[in-house]
Structure 1
Amino acid sequence: MGPAGAARSGDAGGPALLVIAHGSRDPRHAATVHALTGRVRALRPGLRVETAFLDFDTPSVSQALASLYLSGVREVVALPLLLTRAFHAKADIPAALAEATARLPELTVRIADVLGPSPLLTAALERRLAEAGLTPADRATTGVVLASAGSTDPEAIAVIAEIAREWRHTGWCAVRPAFASAALPRTEDAVRALRAEGVRRVAVAPYVIAPGRLPDRIAAGATAAGADVVAPVLGPAPELATLLLERYSCALAAPRPTHLRPPVLSA
């Protein structure tokens, strides 16, 4: 039997938080994810926060849950480190959790919502643009390309487009969505389109959390098209750490799930 009392639910801070990232062959990805979860720990010292990856990096979801279980934890909030509800959120993560919990029948896992959309993400984007050199006085003459990784999921693409529309109302002269893969326009095409419309200054804001192949593609496209400003990825921004804890709290407030099962996908 594992440790009793507070440790069974992730120590004094409540159920443990398992942040599930996609993973990458690029070591900068895991380093950024760990920096973000470290910031979450600093914000909530009593909360046990662990990290898992769907691919490329370790521990896997199954390994992380098994480790938590062996240490006495019996309640976990699994939080997808994803900005939209696309295939990974709808299928991969629920399937990985269902497979792992089938071998750990005493473990209760709640799945938190993905991170986006959220005003905190917009605030993090603003932070990165400011760090790249833009000032409030630049807003009225600057067009922004909101560059995401891309998805084949229409819901995810629609969410990115809606974020761009809403962000436009905060004073930028234009905000356009763009995608590094799977959807159009590409970053470089969005930059050139704004130039063709007479926008004086064009900034690219990567709507991605960690460095990797697709963020590098965003930056390369922005540079090739002559963007004036290319902001860094969101990374371990304080707004993201706060948002992770918001999603954790919302998951705890939701009705407790009775079980997890792999999603059934249509052919």
Structure 2
Amino acid sequence: MSFDSWIGTPTLVLAVPGVAGDTDGIGAQMVDLLRSYRPEVTIRVGCIEGSDDRLTEALADLEPVDEHPLRGVVVPLVTAPHPATDQAISEAIEATGADVRVTDGLGPHPMLAEVLHLRLAEAGFVRADRMRLISVVAPSTTMTDGVIVGAVGGPDAVSAAGVTAVLLAARLGITVLPADLEDDSSVEQVRRQIADAGCVRPVIAPSIVGPEFDTERLKALAERYEARYSAPLGASSTLAKIAALRYAEVLNSVGVEAPATADELPSPVGSRHRPES
């Protein structure tokens, strides 16, 4: 439910980490997917780095307007708290004076485990169907027996990835633990933990949209710790659905903050509500 009838349809701005040319069209793909959930909303993409498709350009004409409580909603295209993205969004809003609200990122959210499972299945590391009460480990050496859910953004991001790891472990029936991809000691520690749990075919599953962490760095990390890796989450219908939910949450909160008073409500009609004579 949203309060579109009261506040109109604020522009939805996707804040994408990185440079426009390095995002592999993730922003544009997400816009197309989002339109199936919010066809009435103007959707824009703004990158936090580079000179093209800058976030400041996406926010430029969203200045405050009288009697209009909100001009836009910024949805960070990250799966966890990401300080660099948060700071860039704050700076862009301050520079443009845009009348917008910023949502949480796309995670933590239960549906992220579903997308991570899909990426692992696409790479042939786990079975695609959801397991119940049995292990997905098979004699084939392509199947993994332990997953490291990679996070980017510091301790808060690792904490969010931990939620996804728990849900993914429940789906797969194997050891799944979170680690900070930007901290070698974190990855090394988790790699040792899953090895102690009996894992001999580890896989690093980055719980990121993509632009937050370079693919070459991911590849080098996997080689260093004798692990394989799956693709980042990328653009997907599930992530678009979460972004649409974040947008609706803001609209709903705006409506809650300014509820109609008793005097503003229409008078009841009908025989039961006739004024006393």
Gaps of 5+ in 2: 138-144, 258-277
Alignment of 1:1-267 (within 5 A): 9=8, 14-24=9-19, 27-67=21-61, 75-88=71-84, 90-101=86-97, 108-133=99-124, 134-135=126-127, 136=129, 139-141=135-137, 142-151=145-154, 154-182=155-183, 184-186=185-187, 190-191=190-191, 193-211=193-211, 213-227=213-227, 229-255=228-254
Give 1:213 shift: 4.9
Give 1:202 shift: 2.3
Task: Measure, in 1, the Cα distance between the counterparts of 2:57 and 2:162.
Answer: 36
Task: Measure, in 2, the Cα distance between the counterparts of 1:75 and 1:160.
Answer: 32
State the secondary structure of the residue aligned to 2:49: coil
Aligned CA-pair RMSD: 3.1
Task: Measure, in 1, the Cα distance between the counterparts of 2:253 and 2:168.
Answer: 29
* Percent pairwise identity: 24
Give 1:118 shift: 0.3
Task: Measure, in 2, the Cα distance between the counterparts of 1:42 and 1:60.
Answer: 24
Task: Measure, in 2, the Cα distance between the counterparts of 1:85 and 1:243.
Answer: 15
Give 1:18 shift: 0.5
- The TM-score with structure 1 as length reference comes to 0.74
- The TM-score with structure 2 as length reference comes to 0.72
Give 1:245 shift: 0.4
Asked if the contact 1:89–1:114 (Cα under 8 Å) also holds between the matched residues in 2, the reply is no
Asked if the contact 1:167–1:175 (Cα under 8 Å) also holds between the matched residues in 2, the reply is yes
Give 1:172 shift: 2.9
| Matched AA of 1:220 | A
State the secondary structure of the residue aligned to 1:163: helix
What do the CA deviations read for 1:70-121 (whole angstroms, capped 9, x no partner)? xxx97111111122224235533223213311xx6xxx31221211100121
Give 1:256 shift: 6.9
Task: Measure, in 1, the Cα distance between the counterparts of 2:223 and 2:135.
Answer: 20
* Aligned position for 2:267: none
What do the CA deviations read for 1:22-59 (whole angstroms, capped 9, x no partner)? 2238x341512221222112443222110011112532
| Matched AA of 1:24 | V
* Aligned position for 2:269: none
Give 1:143 shift: 1.1
Q: 1:130 to 1:117 in 2, by over 3 A?
A: same
State the secondary structure of the residue aligned to 1:96: helix
Asked if the contact 1:125–1:207 (Cα under 8 Å) also holds between the matched residues in 2, the reply is yes
Moved beyond 4 Å, runs of 4+:
136-140
State the secondary structure of the residue aligned to 2:18: coil
Count the aligned residue pairs: 235
Asked if the contact 2:108–2:163 (Cα under 8 Å) also holds between the matched residues in 1, the reply is no
Task: Measure, in 1, the Cα distance between the counterparts of 2:252 and 2:173.
Answer: 36
Task: Measure, in 2, the Cα distance between the counterparts of 1:38 and 1:46.
Answer: 13
